[in-house]
Amino acid sequence: MTHVLVTGGAGFIGSHTVDLLLSQGHRVTVLDDLSTGLMANLKQCEGNPNFHFVKADVAEDIAETLDQVAAIVGPIDRIIHYAAQTAVPLSMDDPASDVRANVIGSVKLLEYARRNKVAKVAFASSSAVYDDDAPVPVNEKSSVRPSSPYGIDKLVVEFYLDYYARLFGLKYTALRFMNVYGPRQDSKSWYSGVISIFLDRAASNTPITIFDDGEQTRDFVYVTDVAAAVTKACLDDAAHGEIINIGTGEEVSINTLAKLAIDLAGSTSVISYAPARPGDIRRSVTTMDKARALLAFAPKVSFADGLAHTLNWVRTQL
């Protein structure tokens, strides 16, 4: 049994990862400050003797907190690091806060990992590190040039991982997520993913707003597939020192998505168009070669099934 620390484990992707780790019989400690994460996302874990929760901010002095966890639950063997400020527009409004949450928090965690001989860290990075002008599909060698403080901070942490690996032998894998969607993604926030927003509007027959002309594209990957990739990257020492894109390789336009959401929900929602959001990228899709080769990763949930599961969940939230 491996003891895995999941930072941000009460969040959208984190909580699905916790479910998977517990189902595999591992011991899990979640560290989350509940700033955007929700205990409701972990309700199903309550009473599981292998599940532990600590409310703490990763950017505070977490070493003492984690020492206490280790004393009670046992040493932390591996870490999955999700805890972050995840809204790109917020990072543009307040870059310094983004550095605190996303860089300082990560460095504190890496310090803990090296001092306590943690076997491996899997880090949730982002496709936001890529240059908007990089030809699509992007691959892990595509040029990086982030368009937001959020993307800069994710890239900085990738450099820290490399530094800790080279100087201290810390093992790691960084996963650059494309657009993740699925149940538990907040559908009410303006900063949320487009799929949860569109399905929420479609299910409630309220207007859908498409920014720009809607011909921009994204590579949408279902949350349990992402959780599986991250879990494998964390538990398996293979893919150490690697950066791997996690997506599906399929490019979907926002216009197509809006129509699918309306059809699927049998909705009377009306679509309207608004100016492009500042910093929005035009096309985003990844190659899958590296994820396939190093993590044996292939998405299991089709887009149609993923949308249907997400719509069911959105309806429970209305």
| Both structure tokens of 190 | 């303006």
- Sole binder of ligand UD2 in the list 15, 85, 126, 269 (CB under 6 A): 126
The contact pattern for ligand UD2, residues 203-222, with x = CB under 6 A and - = no contact, is ------xxx----x-x----
**186 contributes a contact to ligand UD2 by CB under 6 A:** no
**128 contributes a contact to ligand UD2 by CB under 6 A:** yes
Least distance between ligand UD2 and beta carbon 282 (Å): 8
CB-nearer residue toward ligand UD2: 41 or 86: 86
- Sole binder of ligand UD2 in the list 65, 192, 253, 287 (CB under 6 A): 192
Of the candidate spans 28-36, 59-67, 158-166, 189-197, the one that interacts with ligand UD2 by CB under 6 A turns out to be: 189-197
| Both structure tokens of 261 | 């959401």
- Sole binder of ligand UD2 in the list 58, 118, 221, 254 (CB under 6 A): 254
| Both structure tokens of 299 | 């998405």
Q: Are strands 252-253 and 217-218 parallel, antiparallel or unpaired?
A: antiparallel
- Sole binder of ligand UD2 in the list 4, 28, 103, 197 (CB under 6 A): 197
The contact pattern for ligand UD2, residues 27-66, with x = CB under 6 A and - = no contact, is ----------------------------------------
**280 contributes a contact to ligand UD2 by CB under 6 A:** yes
Helix or strand holding residue 153 (H, E) = helix 149-168
Give the angle subtended at the CA of 47 by the CAs of 43 and 50, to the nearest 5°. 105
Of the candidate spans 1-9, 13-21, 188-196, 259-267, the one that interacts with ligand UD2 by CB under 6 A turns out to be: 188-196
Q: Are strands 120-126 and 78-81 parallel, antiparallel or unpaired?
A: parallel
| Both structure tokens of 265 | 């929900």
- Sole binder of ligand UD2 in the list 15, 127, 173, 248 (CB under 6 A): 127
- Among candidate residues 63, 150, 71, the one with its CA nearest the CA of residue 109: 63
Is 150 considered catalytic here? yes
| Both structure tokens of 161 | 């991982």
**From 150, 160, 172, 222, the catalytic residue:** 150
**86 contributes a contact to ligand UD2 by CB under 6 A:** yes
- Sign of the dihedral defined by the CA atoms of residues 14, 110, 172, 117, in that order: negative
296: alpha, beta or left? (left if phi > 0; alpha if psi -120 to 50): left
Least distance between ligand UD2 and beta carbon 218 (Å): 5
| DSSP string for 213-282 | TS--EE-EEEHHHHHHHHHHHHH-STTTTEEEEES-S--EEHHHHHHHHHHHHT--PPEEEEPPPTT--S
List residues with catalytic annotation.
150
- Which positions touch ligand UD2 (CB under 6 A)? 86, 88, 126-128, 179-180, 192-194, 197, 209-211, 216, 218, 254, 277, 280-281, 284
